[in-house]
Structure formats: C-alpha cells, structure tokens
C-alpha cells in the first residue's frame, strides 16, 4: 500500500480507513516483528512446548554484560499456564501483570484454575478494547499461551494486538514467523503423535532452522506443560535444554 | 465518489458530510466484507438455519495447524437464540459478550427469554450509539440472529454497523452477500414452504454455489433452531453436516 | 454555495460560519432526504392521517426476502399519539425510544397523557441540544407527529434536526417533500373540511402522485387518529388500506 | 474585513483574534439577522409594547399549510414579563426554557417576581458564559424583554449573543433593525409621552414601514405590558390587532 | 511584529511563542482598547476619583433611544470599594460578579471589609489562572479599583487581563490611555496635594482633554471615595457632576 | 536553531522534539529574560543578599505615576526565607502563593520551619509537573531563594521553569544574567570571606555594573538574611540602601 | 531516518508509526544523551559500584559559583538500594520521589525491604504507562539501580524511558554510553572476580577513559553497595574517592 492512501487514517486508532482497515493495528503487528525475536510453539500428544530466543529485543544493544537471568520473554501465569510474549517488551510486562491479576481473581472467585482458553479469550478482549477507544494505542505484543485443559488436554493459543485469539497445533510468532509456520506445516503434515521429547525437539529444531543458528543452551528459553507432571507449567533448566540440543544434533 | 470530496468528513464519526453521509459507517461496512467470510441464513416453515464458513478472517494466514475447534463465528446467545458474526472477529467477540449480558439480564428481570426481535433491536441500539458519539468507532461486524418467537414462529434478523436491524425470510452477509442474496431470491421466488431438511440444505447449497466451493463437513458451521426441538438453538455436528452435504451432492 | 466557503466550519457542530450558518444541521437535512423515503401528513376535521412508504431506506438493497413486518417507519408513542420517522432509521429508533420514555414519565408524573404539542416541543428540545454541544452530531431524521388534543382537536407536528417544531394542516417530509407540499397546498387552498375517509385518501393520493407510483396495500404504512375512536392512534391493516386504494382508483 | 485575516481565529470560540475580536460572537449576530425576522419594541408612559412578524424563520419554506397557532416568537416569562426572541428559533426555545426556570426559582426563593432588569442581567450572564468556555457555541438569538418595574415603571431590555444587556426607550432587532432604529429615533426625537394606544401603534407603524408591508392581523404578534392591567404581560388577540391596524391606516 | 511569526502560537492560550510571548494576552489587551472607552483615575490627599465615559462599547450602535440608566461601567464592590471596568462589557459583568462574591465572603469570614489591595490581588489572581490553563480565554477587560485603606489612605489599583495589578497615583485605561497617562504625568509632576474637588476635576479635565470633548453631565460617570465620607464609595449625581464641569470651564 | 526544525514540537508541552528537546521550556526561559529585569544574589560568610530592580516588567509602560509601594518582585516566604521572582510577574504571584501554602503546611505539620533546600526542591517539583502534563504551560518565571539553614548556614537557591533547582555561592537571573554571572565569578575567584556589608555591596555593585546604572535608593530592592539577626529574612529600607550606595560610590 | 517519514507519528505518544515504531520514546532516549552526562556501573563479587559525573546537565551554564553540594544525580532509595539518574534532571527528581514512595509502601506492607529487581520492575512499569496513554510524555531519564539481593548477591539494573529494565554485570548510560560499554566488555571479557576495590576502580577508570578526563575527587559521585557493610548503599566521601583516584594513577 502506498503511504498516500493512508494519510490521516492511521494516526487515530478509532477510525476505519476508506477500505475498512484499522491501520494502527497493522502497525502494531509491525512492532511485533520489529523486535527481532522469533517464537515457536508445538502441541504434542500429552504436552505443549513453547520456545523463544533469550535475548533482548532489537534496538537495544545486544550487550554482552547483560545479566542473562534478567532477560526473559517467558512468564508463568498460573500453576498450569505459561506464556511467551513476542514484541515490545515494555508492553509485554504491562500485559502479563494484568493477565496474572485476572487469573488470580478467577481462581479466588471460582475455586479452580482458569482454563487456558478462558484466559486466552480474556487477553484478546483486553486487546480489542485498546483498538476501539480513543486515547490509547494497542499493545505492540503477541502472547502465546500454553496450558493443559482438564478435558481437551494440551492447548496452545495465540493472542494478537488486534484482539483475536486462536488455538493451534503448532504456531510461530515474531520476526521469522512465516518461515517457521511453513516448516511446521511440512513437518506436521501427517499429524504425527508427538511424545514429550519429540514435542520439545520439534519446537527447538524449527526455531534453529529458520534462524540458521546453532543454539547454545543459554540462547533459548523453553517452557513445557506435560500431563505426567500434573499439567504444571515449568521452564527447562540449562541441563535439560542441553540434553535436547545434543539429541537434535546427534539425530541430524 | 472521488476521495477528494470526502476529505476530512470521514475521520470523525460524529459529523455528516455535505451530502448527508456518515463515512465511518460506510467504511465499517467495508470492514465487514474485507474479512472475506460469507454467511447465509434461511427461514423455513418451522425452522431457521444459519450457515457460515469455518475459517479465520482474511489478513490472517490460513494456517493449516490451527486448532479447528477454536475457529468459530457462531455463538449461542440464549437457549433459543443463536447468531453468526461476520466481519472483524475481535469486535464480534466484544459484541457477543455484551449481547449475552443483555439477554441474561432480561431473563433475570422478566422471567422469560428475550424474544429474538427484542434482542435484534437491542443490538442495533448499541450499534447506533457508536455512530453518534465522538471517541469511538463503530463495530466492524454484522450480526445475523436466528430464533423462535412464541407467536410468530421462526425468525431471522440482521443487525449492521449503522444500527439498523431488519427481519428476513433469507439473507446473506459478508464478502459474497450480493451474489448469495440474488440466488436466494431466485430460489425462494415462489415462497415455498421449506421443511427442516430443505431449510438447511438451501442455506448450504447457496453458500456452496456463490463460493464455487465443494465443502467438507469441517469447512462450515451450521446453526439451527427447530420447532420440534422446543426451539432450542444448536449447532450441527460434523456427522449431521456430512449427511446434508451428501444429500445435496446426490440431489444435484 | 461553493465548497470553499465552508471549509472548516462544517466539521465542528459547535461553530457558526462567517455567514451565521450551522452547516452540520444543513447536512443533517440532506441525510433526511438521502434516505429516499417520502412521508405525507394531512389533518382533517376530526382526524389526522400520516402515510409513508413501507420500504427500507436508500443505501440498503431493496431485498425481496425482507420480512415486511420488520420494516416500519411508523411508531406509536402513546395511546393517542403516533409518528413517522423519515431519514436515517438507526437514529430514528434511538430517538423514538427516548421520546417514549419522556411520554411515559409525563403520564406517570402528571396522571394524564402528554398532549401532542408538548411532546413535539420536547422532541425539538432534545434535537437543539445536539446542535449546540461539541462531541455529538444532530439526528439525521425528521419526526412527523399526529395526535388528538383535548381542546384543539386533531393535530399534526413536524420536528426537524435543527430543533424546530411546527404545527401543520398538511405537510410532507423526505425525498419529495417539496413536490408533495406544493400539491397539498393546491388541493387544500380552500381549506375544505375533510372527513375521516377524505383525510386518508388525500394523504395517499398525494404520496402516490409525487412518487408516480401505483401503490399496493403493502407498499405504504397508514396511521390515523380519529375522534370517533376516542382519539386513539392506530395503523390501518392491509384490508383497510386496500379499501382506500380502491376508492381512490375508482374516483380517478 | 477580508476572509484571510480571520483564518483560524473564528473557529474556536475561546480565543481572541490579533485585533482583539471574538469572531464566533460576530457570526452569531449574523445568525440573528439571517433568520429574516424583524422585531420592534417601544416604551410608552405607562406601557411597553413589543411587535414581531408571525412567520417562520428564513431557510424554512414559508408553508401555507402551517398551523398559524404553532408559529410564535413571543413568550410569557412570568405574569409580568414577556419577551420576543429574534434569530435561530431552536436556540430561542432552549433559552426561554432556562429563563423561565430562573424566574420561577427566583419567585420561589424570594417570594416576589423577578424584576425585569434582574432577568435581563441573568440572560446576559448565561450568554457570556457561552462565549468564554470551549465546547459550546453562543446562542444565535437576541431576546427583547418587556416588563413593569415597581419603581421605575415600564421597561424594555435587549440581551444579545455576546452577553450584553441594555435598557431602551425603543429598540429593534433582526433583519431590518438599523432601518427600524433610525425611524424610531426620528419619531421619538422629542421624547413624546406615548399613551397605551400610541405606544402600540408606534411599534406597529415602524415595523410596517421598514418592511414595506401592509399587515393583516395574522401577520404580526403584539405583546404589551400596561400599568392599568396591573403590569400583566399579555398578547393582543386578532381583533385588538385589527383595531390598531385600522386606526393606523385611517390616520395615514 | 509580522503576522507570520505568530502563526499557531496565538490560538492556544497555554503555550509560549518562541520569543517567550503569550499572544492571547496581548490580544486581550487589544480587546480592551477596541471597546473605545477611556477611563481616568486620580488619587488625591484624602480621596480617590475614577471617571469614565457613559456610553456603550464600540461595535454597538450608539443608540439614542438607549435608557441611560442601564449604561454603566462603574460598579460598587463593597461599601468602601468601587471600580470601573474598561473593555468587553459582557466579560466585565461576569468578573464583577465574582469579585463581589469574593468580597462578601471575606467580610463574612473575617468580620471586616476586604482592603483594596487584597481585592486587587484577588482579581489579578483570577485573571492569571485564565492565562495558564487550556479551554478558556482571558477576560477582555481591565479593572480600575479605588478604595480607602485604613492605614495607607486612599488607593487606586489597576488589574489587567494578564493577571498583573499595580497601585497608582493616577492612571488611565482604554482607548486613549497613553495620551491620558502622559497628561497626568505632566500635571502631577510636582506631586501636588490634591483636595477633594481638585482630585475630581483633575480626572474630568484629563478625560475631557484627551477625548477633545466638551462633556455634558450625562456623558460621564464619576465615582469617589473620600475620607470625610467615612471612606464610602459613591457615584456623583448629575447635579454634582454639573457643578464640577462648570468649575472646570470657569477655570479655563 | 532554524525555525523550521521545531515546527509542531514546540506547541505541545508534552512531547519531545526529534533531538530530545522540550521547546516550551526553552521558550519559558525566554519569557524570563523578556521581562527585562535583572536579579543578583550573593552568599557571604554569615549572610545572603538578593538584589533586584524595583520596576515593572517590560511591556508595561514605565509609568511615573505608579505607586512605588505596589511594585515588588521580592517576597517573604517564611520568617527566615525570602525570594525574588524574575520574569512574568502574574505567574510569579501565582507561584509565590502556592509556595507560601506549602511552607505553612510544613510548619504546621512538623513544628519547625521548612529548610531552604526543601522549599527549593518543592518549587522545582511543582514546575516539573507543568512540563510533563498536557493542558498547562510552564511558569514563565525564575525564583531565587535565600535562607539560613540551621546546619549549613546561609543558602542561596535558584529554581527555573524546567523544574531544576541548584544551590549557589552567587548567582544572577533575568535579562543580563550572563554578564552578572561572569562578573561575580571574577570577583569571587578567590572565595573571599564576605562580611555582612561586603555581601550586600557585592550584590549591588554587580547589578549596578551590568546595568551601567547609577542607582538611587528607590531603584532597587534588597533582601538579606543574616546570622546575627537570628536568620530572619528582611528587606532593607531606603535609608539602609542609601548607606550602602554611598559606601560603594565612596569606595570606587 | 529522514524527517519526512516520521511526520505526524512522532507528536502523539499513543500511536505506532507505519514501521511499528514509537517515535516519542526514541526522542526521550535522545534527551537522555543530550544532558551530556555519562554514568558507569560495575558489579563485583560482593559489591556493586555506580559512578557518575558531578556536574549540571548540558544546557545549563557550568557555573563556577554553583554550590557543589547541591549538584547530585545519585540518590539513596532505601537503606540498601541506590541509583543514578542520567538525563533530564527535573524528570529524574520527579521519578525518584515516586520510587521512594513505592519502596516505603512495600516496606510498610510486607515488613522487609523491596528487593532491587522488584524495584527495577516497578520503575519500568511506571515508565511504560507514560508511553501508552495520551496526554503525557515519557520521562527523559534513565535510572541505574544497584542493590544487594539476599539470595542473588549484588545486583545492577537499568530502567529506560521505554519501560524496559534489565540486569547487568556492568553497564553505562548517557552521552558516552557506547564507548563505555565497549571498554567494559573488553575489560570484563574473562569474567574476572572483582574485589571491592577493583570494582570501584574499574568503574572510575572506564568513566575517566571515555571522557579523556583526569578526575579530581570533586568531579565524580561514587555509590557502592558492599556485602561486608550489610549491603547498605552509601556514597564515598571525597577522601575515599581520592584514595581510589591515587590508586588508579599509580597503577597506570
């Protein structure tokens, strides 16, 4: 689209362009990609795995003196739900805070944990509001949620700045999302049943390929929800990641 | 109309253009079409059927790894009223939430279910407000409502972003609405009395024709309200849809 | 008036142009005409009759599958007062709702029905407010009110988007209002005393002439207030309309 | 003044132009004249008379089917104070409503009727506020007030959109105000003592002259306050007006 | 200053121009002059006198039929403080009202009359607020205050639209303020001790000179505060003014 | 900087320019200088002295009839803290009022006088707020504060429109601040220990030099805080100023 | 980036540019550098040290008469946490005030001191809010926090105007941050274990090098947190700084 045809419609979130578009939302999607991080999520038979790059977003110097423990895009929301935020990290932190509150209030009110889909819907609802009212901009961040539903088993959702949420068997977000999605599609064409280890290694492999990188265990963050572990969300430690990286390189 | 003559009047929802037009509403209608989904509704003698495409709106990659159970544009509002939302899905979800609240409050206050027309009017009223006040944009979504009125029998309404609602014998919304409406008009010229099965198959056939598609049972969502079923709104499961698709292809 | 001389003054409702004009109000009058509906009202000796076209406003496809019972521009406000709304129908519905509330509160507070003129004044007052304050646009609709005043007999008022209301012996609104008013003026030049049937047929005839149409009974809506009927407002059913259409065609 | 030199200063009511002018107020005065109505007020020894044209404001078709009883620019504010509103009639009605409230509250609070000057001051104060605060436009209407002060006798005030009020021996407002004021000045140069009849006929004569019209009794509205009538404000009925018109024509 | 260099900075009261100027305030001063009235104040040994022209502000037709008793720019604030307002009279009235409230509350709270300087400071404070906050314009009026301070004797203050207040031995405001100030300076160069009569006649003489006018007693308003009169503020009646005018002309 | 590169960024206080500048603050500093007043402050061993010109700010006619007692830029804040305001005097008065309130509340709350530095910080904080929020402009005034700290001895602070405050041994503000600061630097290069009289005469001398003026005792205001006087802030009377002026001229 | 491509998107904090950028945040980073101060922080084995230049920000004359005790960019937040603010000092002071409140409330609520990371997160959250809502600008300041975590030992965080916070082994901010970071990276390549003295001298050396300066003990501010000192934050006095400067110069 040429710049001219958008002039004026893209500075006020509350109006449609003559083609029925909401430009600010489209720009927010650009902000997600501009951060330069890629994230991959894969759903296995009894587990879900989300993998992202452990580095600060583009625009910040990739400082070697950074304390690695302070760089994270992966958050635990409840005991059983985890998420990766891809995009503008300051927005991400603001969002995760509200999401945790919502989850805690749900638990308090109803006595059981918020199911992953209900949470994904809630996130999307909050995002939609920012696209319809004047005076605020949408969040420049995409949230990938994983969790275990008591009835439906492992679940993987993605909530975007426009206020949509959708469930996926496997999905990718951020700078190289298209490449990663294509690769996932090919690999999962026959809907194979992925074991716990296969799920994790599938996610890592795809991320490694689209980035043409050779990961060290400190380069990535890996979050999993596993049925065997009572559906708890946990992040793998470096030793576990190392184990999977070795397995991948040996397999190749 | 040339772009020039609208300059300025289309960025503020609250003003009329010199021709008496409200541009933002017209653009919202474009947003409905831009989503790339088509929906068809048909009213039979004792039943109503609404059919829509089960896929994510345009602009989103048509991801093969999507969890199909998370893609839906069809919602139950009350026991006896269902609806399809065509257009910007994030707006759709925000709207359906308010509509369900309204219906629940009505039931609580008056002790019986909100009649379909009252609900359609309420939706239209909420939409009108967004077209007159500053600081908000209209919803980019069209709601097709079906339900059973105790006195008038099966009913089919459509509520648009401008705040109108109208009852129909058969209607279509979204990308190919004009083609679908033309086809419906031809087929229903003689106001035939449609049975439960005929109603459903009419809706599916028309949608299939205008999209030049050959549906699989997972490609569409079908919602029905049927007098025999005490007027309950329910969505057909894949087996039922399959049965109708087979009947249609055999009939041709 | 050339476009240039209005530049800027017509986008903000709250300001006068250098000639002392309020452009938004003028554009709202255009919106009334743009709807493409014409309405005629005639006051007889002991009755008033309002007639309008029963079709959806321009800009909407004139769908043959529309449920005719859901298309109406005529509303009962109280037992004894009815009205036709000509123009932007979503605004019309929002307005009629507020008007009914006002009438109900009046009845509750004072113990008798709101006289037609008081109601017309109230409508005009609400409209004026929308022309003086920032942040809202005027309603794009003209309301024709008919009723029976205990002392003054049958009454016919028209309230416009600018906040004026005026009483009439006969009046027209909408797309062909000028033609209709001219015709009415000629026919009523000698201030004839119209009987109940003459009143209705005068209104229908004029509408039929200016539209160069040959009405079927389902093409129009006819509302009457008649002294014999205790001043109750009621809409004629199709059989009654048919009777008048036949009488008209026989008379010609 | 050329259009260019006002660019920008005349669209925001709250700012002075570089010459220290408030353009919106000047435009509001234009709106008063644009309505095309002229009003004349004359103060006699023991009476005051206000006369205005009984027709709808310019811009409205001068409909012959108008119910003359619904066209009025003259209002009773209290038992003893009447007024004529010249200009934008919808604004006029909004203003008269607030003025009556003020007068009623005064009576309630203090136990006696608001003196005419206090009322005129109150009207001017309300008008001033609209010229200093953002978000509203000034009223496009001039109010001529007449009443009887217990001590000062008959009084005649005029309140304009800028928030001024002034007392007069005789005054005119609206389209032909300058011509009328000139004529009044000439006729009253010697400060004659006008009787009740002379006061009324002076006002009518001047209005008739500047409009080059030959009034019928239904063409004008005449309001008087007379000491003999305990200072009550009342409008003359058609017979009385007729009597004065005859007297005038006979005198010429 | 050329028009170009102010573009934009002069339409929003809350911003400084690149040269550190606040244009709206400068324009408000223009509005003061534009009214076409001149006012003179002189402080004597035991008295203060303020004199102003008794006519309506420019822009209003200098109507000969005006009731002179309704034209005034001089107001009593408290028993002992009077003031003249020069400039936009509608603003003047709004301001005097607030000032009287302040003075009344002070008296109520502290049990003695507000000293003139405290009042002048209060007026200036209210004016300053209008120059710093968005959404309002400054008052287009200058207030000259005179009063008797228990300790400091007669006092004369001037409060301008910018929010300044200053005390003076003699001062002028309005259209011909510069000429009047120059003349006052010359006449008071040797700081003569002015008696009550000299004070009044000095003020009238200066006003008469700069306007090249030959006043009749109805052309001016004269307010005085005199120690002999217990410091009460009062306006001279026509006879008294006449006496002074005669004295002046005899002296020349 | 050329005018072009600031276009737009300098009219809204809340935004940074592309170079990271806040233009409105820079313009406010211009307003300080534009007033045409210069102020000097000097800190001695046991005393502080602030000296400013006793005349009205530029833009006001330097009226010879001004009551000199009403012209002041020097204010006592508490018993022990005084200040001079240089710049837009209406803003100065608004600020001093708030500052006094703060100081009074502090004394009431904590039982001892606000130390000078705490007060300076508070002033700076209030100024910062006006530079970050929309809808207000910064104060166009610089405040020089002097006082005695129980522990640190004599103190001299300056608070500017940007929200900074800094302590000084000697400082200048206003039109000729740079010249004065240079001269002070030279004279105080060797950090001499200034006695009470030396402190005052240093400040007066510097001001006299940069203005190339020969002060009369009524041309300046001199405020001092002296340890011997229990740290009370007081303004010198004309006799005292005269004594210092004589001493200075004799010394030269 | 060329100026043209940002036109309009950079004046309203709440909108994304077409490339997904938030210009106001980028400009705020420029404001941080524009202040002309550089800051360095280094984390040792059991201690953290932050060093900054003790001079006023650029744009202020580097006044030699400044009281050095009033120039500081280093603040104690709690007993155990200190910080340096680099950038617009008026914003810095406003921020430190809110941060101290937060820390005090935490202590009051939970009974123990706020851990450094929690505080860093809180600062970042407050900053994020200023980047999403209309009507405010972001703070033009970067906060470097140092403290001792009970479990993780010494910690060093940096919070920027965009709302990010990150932990570091060593970091720099302000005008010469890139040079300083490069030097730190080289010096710390082998992750040496730094003793208390080495930590301080590393920070000072790096700052001295990038500024090509030869510090006197009054030129810099040095803050440390040391395990031996129970993790208390304290600023070194001039003697201590002198000791380190001597050690550095002797070592070279």
CB A155 within 8 A of CB A113: no
**Residues in a beta bridge with G148:** G154
pLDDT score of A2 more than 80: no
Domain ranges in chain F?
23-250
Residue E242 has pLDDT above 50, yes or no: yes
Q: Which pLDDT band holds residue C60 (cuts at 50, 70, 90)?
A: low
Interface list for chain A against chain B, based on CB atoms closer than 8 Å: 8-9, 12, 14-22, 43, 117, 121, 124-125, 127-129, 131-135, 152, 155-157, 162-171, 178, 181, 184-185, 188
Numbered residues of chain E with Cβ closer than 8 Å to any chain F Cβ: 8-9, 12, 14-22, 43, 117, 121, 124-125, 127-129, 131-135, 152, 155-157, 162-171, 178, 181, 184-185, 188
pTM of the model: 0.80
Instruction: Looking at the complex, report in whole angstroms how far the Cα of residue E177 sits from the nearest Cα belonging to chain D.
Output: 17
Which of C21, C70, C92, C130 should one mutate to test binding to chain B, selecting the residue with the greatest count of B CBs within 10 A?
C70
Residues of chain D in contact with residue E93, where contact means CB-CB under 8 angstroms, are 121, 124-125, 128, 163
- CA–CA gap between residue F150 and residue F158 (Å, rounded): 19
Q: What's the pLDDT at G224?
A: 96
Tell me: pLDDT of A113 over 60: yes
3-class DSSP state of F67: coil
Interface test with F, best of E1, E16, E121 (most F CBs within 10 A): E16
Question: Chain E interface, mutation test: which of D6, D10, D14, D16, most E Cβ atoms within 10 Å?
Answer: D16
G72 Cα to chain F: minimum distance (Å) = 10
Across residues E70-82, what is the average pLDDT?
Answer: 92
Say whether pLDDT at D125 is over 70.
yes
- Chains touching chain G, criterion 3+ CB pairs below 8 Å: A, F
Asked if G9's CB is within 8 angstroms of A11's CB, the reply is yes
Q: How far apart are CA F132 and CA F12, in angstroms?
A: 10
Cβ neighbours around A172 below 10 Å, total? 30
So what's the pLDDT on residue B132?
75
- pLDDT of B9 reads 63
Mean pLDDT of G204-219: 94
Supply the pLDDT for residue C117: 93
- Top residue of E70, E85, E97 to mutate, by most chain D CBs within 10 Å, is E70
- Across the interface, whether the CB atoms of C168 and D67 are under 8 A apart is answered yes
Which of C10, C65, C139 is closest, CB to CB, to B169? C65
Tell me which chain C residue has its CA closest to the CA of residue D35: C20
Instruction: Give the burial class of F108: count Cβ atoms within 10 A of its Cβ; 0-12 exposed, 13-18 middle, 19 or more buried.
Output: exposed
**What are the beta bridge partners of residue C159?**
C143, C165
Long-range (24+ apart) CB contacts under 8 A made by D52-56 are D52/D84, D52/D86, D52/D174, D52/D207, D52/D220, D52/D221, D53/D207, D53/D211, D53/D219, D53/D220, D53/D221, D54/D218, D54/D219, D54/D220, D54/D221, D55/D219, D56/C164, D56/C166, D56/D89
Question: Taking CA atoms, what residue in A is nearest to G128?
Answer: A90
For residue G58 the two structure tokens come to: 């650029």
Among B8, B14, B17, the residue with its CB nearest the CB of C136 is: B14
Give the model confidence (pLDDT) of G111-137 as tens digits.
Answer: 998 999 999 999 999 888 888 776 678
DSSP conformation class of A74? E
Section E192-213 average pLDDT: 94
Q: Which two tokens stand for residue F120?
A: 């300076």
Nearest-by-Cβ selection for D14 from E29, E32, E135: E135
Closest chain F CA to residue E166:
F70
> Contact, F157 vs F166, CB < 8 A?
yes
**Cβ atoms F136, F13 nearer than 8 A:** yes
Mean pLDDT of E99-106: 93
Residues of C in contact with D64 (CB under 8 A): 185
Whether A14 shows a pLDDT value over 80: the answer reads no
Residues 6+ apart with CB under 8 A from A147: A48, A78, A80, A81, A82, A115, A116, A119, A154, A155, A225, A231, A233
Q: Do F34 and E12 touch (CB under 8 A)?
A: no
Residues of F in contact with E7 (CB under 8 A): none
Q: In the structure, what pLDDT confidence band is assigned to residue D59 with cuts at 50, 70 and 90?
A: low
Residues from chain D that touch E12, judged by Cβ atoms under 8 A, are 15
Coil/strand/helix, residue A224: strand
> Which chains share 3+ C-beta pairs under 8 angstroms with D?
C, E
Subunit partners of chain C (3 or more CB pairs within 8 A): B, D
Taking the CA of residue C120 and the nearest CA in chain B, the distance in Å comes to 22
Structure tokens at G31: 């404001």
Q: Which of D11, D33, D89 sits opposite C9 (nearest CB)?
A: D11
Residue range C107-118: average pLDDT? 92
Q: 3-state SS of chain B?
A: CCHHHHCCCCCCCCCCCCCCCCHHHHHHHHHHHHCCCEEEEEECCCEEEEEEECCCCCCCCCCCCECHHHCCCEEECCCCEEEEEEECHHHHHHHHHHHHHHHHHHHHHHCCCCCHHHHHHHHHHHHHHHHHECCECCCCEEEEEEEEECCCEEEEEEECCCCCEEEECEEEEECCHHHHHHHHHHHCCCCCCCCHHHHHHHHHHHHHHHCCCCCCCCCEEEEEEEHHHCCCEEECCHHHHHHHHHHHHHHC
Please, what is the average pLDDT of chain E?
88
Note the CATH number of domain C23-250: 3.60.20.10
DSSP bridge partners of D74: D84
CA dist A97 → A102, A208, A224, A225, G163 (Å): 9, 30, 21, 21, 14
Nearest to G20 among A11, A33, A61 (CB): A33
Angle, vertex CA A136, rays to CA A134 and CA A137, nearest 5: 115
- Please judge whether B124 and C33 are an interchain contact, meaning their C-beta atoms are less than 8 angstroms apart: no
The rounded distance, in Å, linking the Cα atoms of A204 and A200 is 6
- Compute the count of residue pairs across chains E and F with CB atoms less than 8 Å apart: 118
Q: Between F61 and F94, where is the model more confident?
A: F94
How far apart are the CA of C192 and the nearest CA of chain B, in angstroms? 37
- Give me the mean pLDDT over the A168-179 stretch: 94
Across the interface, do A13 and G15 touch by the CB < 8 Å criterion? yes
F155 vs G contacts (CB less than 8 Å): 67
Q: Which residues of B touch A167 (CB under 8 A)?
A: 66-67, 69-71
**G185, burial (CB in 10 Å: exposed 0-12, middle 13-18, buried 19+):** middle
- What pLDDT score was predicted for residue D13? 54
Q: How many CB pairs under 8 A join D and E?
A: 118
- Our answer on whether G and F touch (3+ beta-carbon pairs < 8 Å) is yes
d(CA D174, CA D29): 9
- The CA distance from G98 to G92, in Å, is 10
Inter-chain residue contact B19 with C34, CB threshold 8 Å: yes
pLDDT tens digits along F105-115: 999 999 998 99
Collapsed DSSP state (helix, strand, coil) of residue E210:
helix
At D134, the pLDDT band (50, 70, 90 cuts) reads low
Average pLDDT over residues A235-241: 95
Sign, CA torsion D122/D124/D128/D131: positive
* Mean pLDDT for the stretch of residues G177-182: 93
Sheet holding D165-167, edge to edge: D74-76, D81-87, D141-149, D153-159, D165-167
- Residue D193 burial (10 A CB sphere; 0-12, 13-18, 19+): exposed
Find the mean pLDDT for residues C88-107. Answer: 91
pLDDT band with cut points at 50, 70 and 90 for residue A10: low
Q: If you compute the radius of gyration of chain A from its CA atoms, what whole number of angstroms results?
A: 18
Sheet holding E81-87, edge to edge: E74-76, E81-87, E141-149, E153-159, E165-167
Q: In what order do the strands lie in the sheet with B47-53?
A: B170-174, B38-43, B47-53, B220-226, B233-235
E154: closest chain F residue by CA = F67
Q: How far is CA C150 from CA C99, C116, C147, E162, in A?
A: 20, 10, 10, 61
Res. G14: pLDDT tops 70:
no
| Nearest chain F Cα distance for residue E178, angstroms | 9
Contact B201, B248 (CB under 8 A): yes
Please provide residue D217's backbone torsions phi and psi, each rounded to the nearest 5 degrees: -65, -20
Which neighbouring-strand residues pair with A166?
A158
* Residue F86, pLDDT above cutoff 70: yes
Instruction: State both tokens at G243.
Output: 């000791």
Chains F, A in contact: 3+ Cβ pairs under 8 A?
no
Cross-chain Cβ contact E14/F137 below 8 Å: yes
- Residue C157: phi and psi, rounded to 5, are -120, 155
Query: pLDDT at position A1, please?
Result: 33
Q: Do D63 and C167 touch (CB under 8 A)?
A: no
Let me know if chains B and F touch, i.e. at least 3 Cβ pairs under 8 angstroms.
Answer: no
8 Å CB contact of C135 and B135: yes
pLDDT band at B41 (very low <50, low <70, confident <90, very high): very high
Residues of A whose CB is below 8 A from G124:
90, 93
pLDDT at C14 over 50: yes
Q: Would you tell me how many other CB atoms lie within 10 Å of the CB of residue D177?
A: 21
* Overall residue count recorded for chain B in this entry: 252
* pLDDT of the residue at E114: 92
Interface predicted TM-score (ipTM): 0.78
Kindly determine whether residue A97 and residue G129, on different chains, have CB atoms separated by under 8 Å: no
Enumerate the residues of chain B whose CB falls inside 8 A of the CB of residue C140.
Answer: 16, 20, 22
Q: Percent of chain D, pLDDT > 90?
A: 61
pLDDT winner (highest mean) among B67-71, D208-212, G91-95: D208-212
Do A27 and G16 lie within an 8 Å CB cutoff?
Answer: yes
Least confident segment among C5-14, C46-55, D154-163 = C5-14
Buried b (16+ CB within 10 A) or exposed e, F61-85: eebebbbeebbebbbbbbebbbbbb
Cα C71–chain centre separation: 16
Angle value at C-alpha A220, between A214 and A226, nearest 5 degrees: 120
């Amino acid at each position: 689209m040429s710049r001219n045809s958008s002039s004026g419609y893209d500075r006020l979130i509350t109006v449609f362009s003559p083609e029925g578009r909401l430009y600010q939302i489209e720009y927010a999607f650009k902000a997600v990609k501009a951060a330069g991080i890629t994230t991959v999520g894969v759903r296995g038979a009894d587990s879900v795995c989300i993998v992202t790059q452990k580095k600060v977003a583009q625009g910040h110097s990739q400082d070697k003196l950074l304390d690695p423990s302070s760089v994270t895009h992966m958050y635990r929301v409840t005991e059983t739900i985890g998420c990766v935020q891809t995009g503008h990290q300051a927005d991400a932190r603001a969002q995760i805070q509200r999401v945790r509150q919502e989850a805690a209030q749900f638990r308090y009110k109803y006595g059981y944990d918020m199911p992953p889909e209900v949470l994904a819907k809630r996130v999307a609802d909050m995002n939609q509001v920012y696209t319809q009212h004047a005076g605020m901009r949408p969040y420049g961040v995409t949230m990938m949620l994983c969790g275990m539903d008591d009835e439906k088993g492992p679940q993987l959702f993605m909530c975007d700045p426009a206020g949509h949420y959708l469930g996926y068997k496997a999905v990718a977000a951020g700078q190289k999302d298209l490449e990663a999605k294509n690769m996932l599609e090919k690999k999962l064409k026959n809907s194979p049943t992925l074991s716990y280890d296969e799920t994790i290694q599938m996610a890592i492999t795809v991320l490694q390929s689209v980035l043409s990188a050779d990961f060290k265990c400190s380069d990535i963050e890996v979050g999993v929800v596993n049925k065997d572990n009572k559906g708890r969300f946990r992040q793998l430690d470096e030793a576990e990641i190392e184990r999977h990286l070795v397995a991948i390189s040996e397999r190749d």
